[in-house]
Amino acid sequence: MPGPVFDAGAFLGGLLRLQLGNLNALAEAQRSAIEGLTALGRQPPRLPDLAMPISSDPRSIVTAPVESLKAAILEGTAQANAMLEITARANAEATGILQERALAALDEWKALLLAATRGG
């Protein structure tokens, strides 16, 4: 009578190694995300300069606040774009780590099942 088709010892050992690799990848992705948040936190807050020059010229009284507001909007947009870029870069790196591990885990899972199956 032939032995069992499935080698549980080999399977459990391989499964443990596979899960350890998954945990290591999660830790690495978390480190990457934290580094991104740290970089984001290092961005110095810059408040727009909304100081209005004192003038008796009616044209200046109208144009100065508008031009100051336009400059503040442009500066705020530039700051937001810089922060979004830092965030996107950190998220892309963390996602890449997890994707790479998921693909490797699938190959490991397939090899594990084939190795645990006698004759596989």
Q: How many CB atoms lie within 10 A of CB 112?
A: 19
Question: How is residue 117 written in tokens?
Answer: 């199956």
Instruction: Give dist(CA 116, CA 120) in Å, integer.
Output: 8
Q: How many CB atoms lie within 10 A of CB 116?
A: 19
Hey, what amino acid is at 71?
A: A
Residue whose structure tokens are 């100081």: 51
Do the beta carbons of residue 12 and residue 63 sit within 8 Å? no
pTM (two decimals): 0.69
Each residue's pLDDT, cut to its tens digit, for the chain (120 residues) gives: 555 566 777 788 889 999 999 999 999 999 999 998 898 888 777 776 666 667 788 888 888 888 888 988 999 899 899 999 999 999 999 999 999 999 999 999 999 888 877 655
